[in-house]
Structure 1
Amino acid sequence: MPELSSVPPHQPWTAPRAAGPIRSTLRLPGSKSMTARALVLSALGTTPGGVVRPLRARDTTLMAAGLAAMGTGIETGSAQRWPVVPAALHGPTHVDVGLAGTIMRFLPAVAGLADGPVTFDGDPQARARPLGPLLDGLRHLGLRIDAAPTGGLPITVHGTGQVPGGAVEVDASKSSQFVSGLLLAAPRFTGGVLVRHTGAVLPSAPHIAMTVEMLRAAGAVVDDSVPRTWRVEPGELRGRDWPIEPDLSGALPFFAAALVTGGTVTLADWPAQSAQPVGQLIELIEQLGGSATVDADGLTVRGTGTVHGVTVDLRQVSEFTPVLAALAALADAPSRLTGVAHIRGHETDRLAALAAELTGLGAAVTELPDGLEIAPKPLHGAVFRTYDDHRMAHAAAVLGLAVPGVELTDVACTAKTLPEFPALWSAVAAGN
């Protein structure tokens, strides 16, 4: 049985400076996004399955624990494969979401298929994360859900063992996970589901594409031929083993290290075909002044030691924003990062947090409604608050490669997606 993961204690940390051009080949754990989806689809399958080379981190062990609390058989002891045995879902039970958007947005629909009430709550910051549009959509599909007056956590899903399903409209402009949360369990709904996105902006579309691809791989019939519309037919999901790709977002700070130091970093075991937005990453790396290639050795990024300023819309790859903002503060010209208003509702208001912390190091930052303008200036050491946000810690670590005295208030928050980050980063920075 997977264990619950408590809130990690804060761990202050001084980001190490680079000893020289970084040259490293990394083997990173699996993608958080793929691991989360594979766990849900395996739990809803008709036969046993498993997750191969999963990410073992706070978000994913809490996801496994939440499914186990509803009755799924999951073992997370091995680093190579987590077996998943589907079972009749039940309540009453409680799910600890931690600070994970995937759990609070993927599992309420699953809880509707449980026989009995399922409560959800998490870290204090989780109660501020957007959830209302998803819950309204699930209510429209036949679920009874109690929520806090804010429309978010804590919530109780009163499962009856079945969900009628049907057509629903949802404004997913604050999170693409609202769409994925409606789609993943939809094959088990009596009438399937037809989801239409009504908002002006749809962020992180590659993550919805990943959901659709994985649903089809599990045997679901999904029609996404109409823009902003997804139809999932009712039917069985096959149990299978899910091979998990290395985590592209988790690799980004290491690729940034190659750009900053004029080094070379290879992410080994990269697949020839990927469900993650590698095309967008390669384009960004090239705009920043580096190069990126995919070959038999993996995904390799090479830098020159000079980072170029960029003007980019990041709405499809918003998870990249904190590290790209750090690179912009070290660049040779101003940058403008836009299209990411929705990351104000992530683990923290990332735009406000980045503006405050980069300014504290000496950068000239203008906060926009949907992004940041960053003008490089000479930087100096300072305390960099991480806001319990792993991506903020990654940004601070990148800055510390070139700026002495960058002191993170907490590096333990990186356990959310990569518990090994502090030791791995220190080794890479030292040239080991």
Structure 2
Amino acid sequence: MFTCKFPTYRPRPNMAAASTQLIKNKQVDRSTLEGILGMFWNAEVTVSDVQLEPATSRGNNFISDAWRIKFEHTKKRRPQTVCTVRVEGDAYARKYTTIRRDGIRKSIFVKSRPEDEEHNALMHTDIAFKNEILAYEKVLMALDVYSNGPLRVPTYVYGNPTTVILEDMANKYFECMNRKYVISWNQVWSPIREMAKLHAASIVMKKLNKPYFEEMIKQITQVPLSETIKLAEKQASTIDTTIELLRVRNEPNAQEYIETLKELKEKAWNKQREIINKEAPVMVVNHGNFWINNLLYRNDLSMLLDWQHIVYSSPATDLCFFLYVNFATAFLTNQREALLSYYLMHLHQSIYDVCTERQMNISDIDGLLEPLTYEWIDSELKRCSLCGYMMAQWINPIFYWSEAVFDMMEKVGGMENMSVEQRLENMTSEQKDRVIQLTKVFMNEYREN
């Protein structure tokens, strides 16, 4: 076994040039934009014709505002095309491409701190931005060295406590896929392979470079924090809607489901934190917010973004989030075994590829693969099912609600302040069916846990 030393992130020079908040009062600070791009390109930059527009539709962002800045620019010298980093003392480490400078052309994607300070306090925006910057500047760079292929993420341009800037993937023809629900394998295979690649890199890195790995994960702060009572209340209020829907629809086993949900309501938030924080047989770096809203697609190829909820936990943390939040319940039910097997196949393959490239002993490779069985991931998914179900309940309305409903929600101060009758009145029949079917899927998993 060998040890590796990774370069420690140091702020880029002239950071003061970009210390001002980039977007304020829905206006772009041009000098700040020039400073950021100047640092990124290592050039004197002048921008013109700056345009700001929302990058996502309403209701899609829970922590930050998402913007697209379009601009024209000139710069005095040609930038370096590729900047690379190699792990010191590791003969098998490939070069990791940290920055593709020519990928930034006429627009950038910007996540900015909302101006509503009450919202920032509620969502722990400061910690979320810190986590995302940590992910791009350190964690993903480190894990990529232990991956069997580059981790697919956008080029990171810049980050500070109020702003995170990434390349605009629309310039490379990446776009959002139908986010209402997953109904086919073409929406699944690439994200699951990326998930398996990320988790496998954690397993291998922990084996080969444990001191650095442990130091790295200590810097991650889980969001949201367990003491956030208001968030717990917001999420728990969604259960009231489901209970009333079950009662009105008089579904088979409705009373049994209602009793279980009533029992879960007050403790669901803390139980989720306990599930995520529990020491599990296998622990990995999880994306933490793995659903289609945080994926971009080009044809069937996917790319991961939004690392604000990065967390060290069981691999099922990502898996249950992905399966519950977006998957059509019929697809999830019919393909469950195939989905878990597909994840396992790529988890094994990713670990094996990296370990053999590094000429590890067969016994050591077998030791890493041995606990990663179907029984293990099936059991972990059931254990974590509450997390996926509760997040699905919470996120579900944005797939269906109109602008008018969002207006109503804002006027009353949030969905939790809408009456159950108001919520049911604004739910489409399709949305109601999904909630009922998702509850049935969850109850089957939860009973077996």
TM-score after normalising by structure 1: 0.25
The structure having more radius of gyration, on CA atoms, is 2
Structure number having the greater helix percentage: 2
